[in-house]
Amino acid sequence: MTALLLPAETAITSQGAVPVLRAGSADAAYEMCAKLIGAGLSVIELTATTPGWAELLPSVNADFPDAVIGMGTITTAYAATVACEAGASFLVSPYPADEARAEAVKRGVLFVGGGATPAEIAASSAHGVCKLFPAHLGGVQYLKTLKAILPAAKIMPTGGIALTDVSTWIAAGAVAVGVGSELVKAPDLAEAAAALRQQVAAGRA
């Protein structure tokens, strides 16, 4: 099956590293979005575990119209509907979540299904870019194994990836990586964002 390449997928693969924000409040998530966008990372995954996310998303979109903001941890059709109506540019799930995908497809919104096993990755990658989660369990060698049996799969490993290891994951075949707490908790976010971009470039060299 050949998947339609949506603008959000192009943005994800172009940036090469997607910050994943899990915050304790909508205000904290908004502030972090502003900092990340200011640091040059305009493709961001918010998560449905953040309180008030359905109100947060339209606010971020309105204030940063050039950013590509997705919603992660979307696992149900209802959550997918709410996220799409709130203006998500893409949705992400930790596993295939077929009902959530169906709702996204109805609205022309990219759905990045996830998985850990070869069967789950094969199922999700049949639709386009997919999420390998949690990436740290199998590590880079597992990604290499998946790419050996699924060479066309566009895989975005997420979960427990250190900023200094991003280039290794990219070089191993990842089209992008999801990065979380180490980035958002960095004492100098601009410096961390610059280092992250360098890591992506080094992995693609």
Diameter over CA atoms, the chain: 44
The two structure tokens encoding residue 107 = 């609205």
Predicted pLDDT of residue 6: 61
Cα(68)–Cα(21) distance, integer angstroms: 14
How high is the pLDDT of residue 185? Answer: 87
Say whether pLDDT at 161 is over 70.
Answer: yes
Residue 168 has a pLDDT of 98
Residue 205 CB: number of other CB atoms within 10 A?
8
Mean pLDDT to the nearest integer, 100-108? 96
Q: What is the DSSP string of 80-116?
A: HHHHHHTT-SEEE-SS--HHHHHHHHHTT-EEE-EES
- 161-185 average pLDDT score: 95
Q: Each residue of 128-149: pLDDT tens digit? A: 999 999 999 999 999 999 999 9
Model confidence at 3: pLDDT above 90: no
Mean local confidence (pLDDT), 40-69: 96
**Residue 181 banded pLDDT, cuts 50, 70, 90:** confident
pLDDT in tens, 16-28: 999 999 999 999 9
DSSP state of 51: T
The mean per-residue pLDDT over the stretch 46-72 comes to: 96
Q: Round to whole Å and give the CA distance between 173 and 156.
A: 9
Q: What is the pLDDT of residue 137?
A: 94
